[in-house]
Structure 1
Amino acid sequence: MERLPNQSKSTEDTGYDRVGTLTTNVADGFTMVAVGDLIVSRPLTTAHPPGFDPIVKIFHDADVTFGNLETNIFDIRSFEGSPQAEYGGAYHVSLPALAPDLKAMGFNLLSRANNHSLDWGVEGMRETGRALDQNGIVHAGVGENRAQAGAARFVETPRGRVALVSFATTFTSLSRAADPAGEAPGRAGVNSLRLTEALVVSSDMLDSLRQMHSEMPQNGGRGDQNQVVFCGIKSSVTYKAGDKLGYSYETDSYDVAEIMRNVRRGKQFADFCIVTNHGHEPGRWSQEPSDYEPSFAHSLIDAGADAYVVHGPHQLRGIEIYKGRPIFYSLGNFVMDDLRTPVGADMFAAHGKDPRTDTDAEVSVAEMIRWGFSDPVFYESAVTISRFEQNRLAELHLYPIELNRSQRFADRGIPRLAPGPQGRVILDRLQKLSRPFGTQIAIENGVGVIRLDPTSPK
């Protein structure tokens, strides 16, 4: 049997490397570009927005360029679906010309599991998939059933075959994909990781809540010595004691097992595996990941992931390096070109607008104001370039970007490399957010740099 490059005999015999993860087998110099959310409604490369071309060059120089596609792609004139009553907070839709434009930008891997995947129903999900397929862009995270949505998808590069596994912790309840069960067919939708949320309060507060709970009607709530659950008509709220007020999450064991299996399967058929999650938890206001996520991220890498990329909070969070692999706890927004058209009737109603007198753009502006997206932090992010040597991360470059927040609404949200002072502010923030994970970021010529010894066991 012919031995593959960079593969030791022990690895060849067992399929595992010395730290127990599945074998990584990319050629030295392999580079991965990763960015966050693509909320984009129109093609960009043909317009050559100021400062955009240098970013495109970075993308083209990489072996694989990844982002999260948080929109649907179709032509409303021939579209046979409809805007859904349950949607991800806004109806995200893009022109058909976006798909070839994403290819022209340099994207060859996109995640699609997120809370906007089924804004326009299964028909929108399918149309988007067809548009990406026709332009040779590999995508993962949605499918005709759970098995398809969770499966790894693969892209071939000169330095190795790359797998992508995509899931979401933030998703609309009716968009969750399901497998067949007996005579019941499967359901198309999103690959999901369900979370159970609890509000963390002090012990004294929990005692007060427990007393309140005991005086409620017989079926009004439930609890035990460690937590109290108040059951409402439509939902329940769980409280538990802790040292710090906030939110706590528990992962669904069935979903975790499925995701880990898909990561393992993806890595078995690839040289490199990217795992990605779209999650808002604990909220867009938070610069810290949810309490479950660091240990979960480590488990993903132990299962074979070579990079874990989170998006969804719409702002940057810290970076961790674990066993020579990068963990990005949020890469914020890459594009937030959010001038949507068309907009469904439900969104007009949600913002007190009338489609007979108000415009789609006015609804979009109202939505942005309602969710607080005017804050500069949502318009500052980074393009990340991870370079691997000896199958481990050797160097990570962080190029700060800003999304033209000062422009009029129709022109804002398009990224450019951040000018010096603003770039320094963004990198200073990343330094601070990454420090709790033991990550040291140097700043050299306006670029964040993390350097590692690829021979180090850590």
Structure 2
Amino acid sequence: MKTIRLLVLTWFILAFGVDEGKSQRVDPSLRNSDFTFALGGDALITRKLSVYKEPKFLELIELIRGADAAFVNLEMLFHDYEPYPMHQSGGTWTRADPALIHDFVWAGFDMVSRANNHTGDYGVEGMRLTTRYVKEAGLVHAGVGESLAEAREAKFLETAKGRVALISMASTFPDHSRAGRTRGDTKPRPGLNPLRYSTVETVTSDQFSEFQAVLEDLDIRFTNPSEDQLRVFGSTFAIGDQRTVVTTPDPVDLEEIAAVVRNAKRLADHVIVTIHAHESGDARSEPAGFLPIFARAMVDAGATMFVGHGPHVLRGIEIYKDKPIFYSLGDFVFQNETLDRLPDENYRALGLASDNHVADFNDARYNMGTTGFPANREIWEAVVAMPRFRDGKLMEVMLQPIDLGFGTEAWERGRPFIAEGELANKILDDLIQRSEPFGTHIEIRNGVGFIRIR
């Protein structure tokens, strides 16, 4: 049998002139050409995208399809309600029809992150079912696994122009969603890749003394790690010149994730490190203090770019050592008001009864659309970032403003369109203002933003 196979292979090579060595090589001209990414923010999908034909929607889809690799944060679970909802969620228990995952493939996306505050909404089974549907759709995904080691792993996309690694984590999550280790005597805990952080609230000396005295009077137990610090209710308070909040990435998590990045850098042409982080500074549009520390450490470890998402608004952009750091790109798809079902806990928290349904929940949660997400214009304004590389070096970043339909009906808003005119300039002006603290200059040309590097 082996002799016959060898004769057939020899005939095929002679007949068609196949050079087995050359057929395995990537065309050098492709590797040396520009490599463009399309990067989206949060994607909470509950309705089909592929049925719509508006020109400004399809123009955006073609932009994504034209990239060499496209990424979005998949903030949705896919199942048919086989699992039960957990006692805690990421805010709303998210779930969509498994068929909708194919709309991301239709739109041109190749890679999705999975670590976010909704990963564990329907427990481990919900996570596993989502993994199954995402894999069947052919999307590269990272950030979850059957153990902490697997959740931390880089996953790889193969393209004609090079290999791309994706490493996903979250700093915002219910604790039951966090993956864990094993010592060999128990099974590891499935879940997401966590980046934990510590928080120290600084108060004046007088405030510190008064606070400590109140705790003692009320017989509330606390600890003193040092003379100028106390810990209570899971928080640390320290004496300082003024009232501040300082957050710092967990050193163990940082180093373990950095090790994954260093490994991925030696196995791929590009490394995307992405985080889901709601935590903010003084405003929702400002990243918490631990995020720039962590993002720069990931670039130092070998990340080609750092992509943040989670707050559902735009945050600034930093160019650090010629690598882009996007602290938040806002939303790409935001359809959290058209979920099919919600668990009893969601309704009862708002005083609703068993004869109330999703629309009633939305009206109660958002006070008939006058508060929360529907009333906040910035939730519905975002960008798709398109960094372009040549020979591994960042050349420029194009920033396409998108409009998700602020002020339209709940069943209409949440789908992205190319933003134009005053709205496009407004979105870019917001991004310019938020990027100034990082020393980033964004130029507006015909309603599109550009960061020139070279």
CA–CA separation in structure 1 for the residues paired with 2:302 and 2:78: 32
1:203 offset after TM fit, Å? Answer: 4.2
CA–CA separation in structure 1 for the residues paired with 2:276 and 2:150: 18
Which amino acid letter does the alignment assign opposite residue 392 of structure 1? K
Contact 2:222 2:230 in 1 (8 A): no
- Residue 258 of structure 2 is matched in structure 1 by 260
- Residue 46 of structure 1 is matched in structure 2 by 51
1:145 offset after TM fit, Å? Answer: 0.8
CA separation of 1:425 and 1:243: change in aligned 2, threshold 3 A: farther
Aligned to 2:98, the other structure's residue is in SS state coil
- Residue 378 of structure 2 is matched in structure 1 by 377
Aligned to 1:229, the other structure's residue is in SS state strand
- Residue 31 of structure 1 is matched in structure 2 by 36
- Residue 350 of structure 1 is matched in structure 2 by 349
CA–CA separation in structure 2 for the residues paired with 1:228 and 1:128: 42
| 1:247 maps to which of 232, 237, 245 | 245
Matched, 1:107 2:106: no
| 2:300 maps to which of 302, 305, 320 | 302
**Between 291-300 and 379-388, the greater mean CA deviation after superposition:** 291-300
CA–CA separation in structure 2 for the residues paired with 1:172 and 1:48: 38
Which amino acid letter does the alignment assign opposite residue 83 of structure 1? P
CA–CA separation in structure 2 for the residues paired with 1:115 and 1:358: 26
Aligned to 2:410, the other structure's residue is in SS state coil
Aligned to 2:104, the other structure's residue is in SS state helix
Which amino acid letter does the alignment assign opposite residue 39 of structure 2? A
Once the two structures are superposed, residues 100-151 of structure 1 have per-residue CA deviations (whole angstroms, 9 ceiling, x without a partner) of: 1110011100000001011111111111111111111000001111111110
Aligned to 1:296, the other structure's residue is in SS state helix
| 1:126 maps to which of 102, 113, 128 | 128
Superposed, 1:154-193 pairs within 5 Å as 154-193=156-195
Aligned to 2:56, the other structure's residue is in SS state coil
CA separation of 1:289 and 1:244: change in aligned 2, threshold 3 A: farther
Superposed, 1:187-202 pairs within 5 Å as 187-202=189-204
CA–CA separation in structure 1 for the residues paired with 2:417 and 2:105: 18
1:160 offset after TM fit, Å? Answer: 0.5
1:378 offset after TM fit, Å? Answer: 0.9
- Residue 58 of structure 1 is matched in structure 2 by 63
| 1:325 maps to which of 316, 319, 323 | 323
CA–CA separation in structure 2 for the residues paired with 1:229 and 1:334: 40
Aligned to 1:72, the other structure's residue is in SS state coil
- Residue 19 of structure 2 is matched in structure 1 by none
CA–CA separation in structure 1 for the residues paired with 2:177 and 2:54: 35
1:163 offset after TM fit, Å? Answer: 0.3
Aligned residues: 426
CA–CA separation in structure 1 for the residues paired with 2:273 and 2:346: 32
CA separation of 1:368 and 1:157: change in aligned 2, threshold 3 A: farther
**Between 442-451 and 43-52, the greater mean CA deviation after superposition:** 43-52
CA separation of 1:220 and 1:438: change in aligned 2, threshold 3 A: closer
1:225 offset after TM fit, Å? Answer: 3.1
**Between 259-268 and 139-148, the greater mean CA deviation after superposition:** 259-268
Contiguous gaps of at least 5 residues in structure 2: 1-21
Aligned to 2:395, the other structure's residue is in SS state strand
CA–CA separation in structure 2 for the residues paired with 1:64 and 1:177: 28
| 1:280 maps to which of 278, 281, 290 | 278
CA–CA separation in structure 1 for the residues paired with 2:31 and 2:296: 21
Q: State the identity as a percent.
A: 38
CA–CA separation in structure 2 for the residues paired with 1:447 and 1:211: 56
1:216 offset after TM fit, Å? Answer: 4.8
- Residue 18 of structure 1 is matched in structure 2 by none
Contiguous gaps of at least 5 residues in structure 1: 8-24, 454-458
> Under a length normalisation based on structure 1, what TM-score does the superposition of the two structures give?
0.88
CA–CA separation in structure 1 for the residues paired with 2:285 and 2:400: 19
Once the two structures are superposed, residues 286-336 of structure 1 have per-residue CA deviations (whole angstroms, 9 ceiling, x without a partner) of: 221111222221110110100001101111110001111100011111111
**Which structure has more helix as a fraction of its residues?**
2
- Residue 17 of structure 2 is matched in structure 1 by none
Contact 2:215 2:221 in 1 (8 A): no
CA separation of 1:423 and 1:202: change in aligned 2, threshold 3 A: farther
- Residue 437 of structure 2 is matched in structure 1 by 436
1:213 offset after TM fit, Å? Answer: 4.1
| 1:291 maps to which of 289, 292, 300 | 289
Aligned to 1:362, the other structure's residue is in SS state helix
| 1:72 maps to which of 74, 77, 93 | 77
Aligned to 1:94, the other structure's residue is in SS state coil
CA–CA separation in structure 2 for the residues paired with 1:132 and 1:332: 22
CA–CA separation in structure 2 for the residues paired with 1:383 and 1:243: 41
CA–CA separation in structure 1 for the residues paired with 2:176 and 2:203: 31
CA separation of 1:243 and 1:362: change in aligned 2, threshold 3 A: farther
CA separation of 1:239 and 1:50: change in aligned 2, threshold 3 A: farther
CA–CA separation in structure 1 for the residues paired with 2:242 and 2:76: 36
- Residue 400 of structure 2 is matched in structure 1 by 399
* RMSD (Å), alpha carbons: 2.3
Aligned to 1:450, the other structure's residue is in SS state strand
Aligned to 2:437, the other structure's residue is in SS state helix
CA–CA separation in structure 1 for the residues paired with 2:125 and 2:282: 29
Aligned to 1:258, the other structure's residue is in SS state helix
CA–CA separation in structure 1 for the residues paired with 2:266 and 2:376: 43
Aligned to 2:92, the other structure's residue is in SS state coil
1:221 offset after TM fit, Å? Answer: 4.4
1:419 offset after TM fit, Å? Answer: 2.3
CA separation of 1:240 and 1:368: change in aligned 2, threshold 3 A: farther
Aligned to 1:93, the other structure's residue is in SS state coil
Contact 1:140 1:153 in 2 (8 A): yes
**Between 52-61 and 360-369, the greater mean CA deviation after superposition:** 360-369
Matched, 1:422 2:423: yes
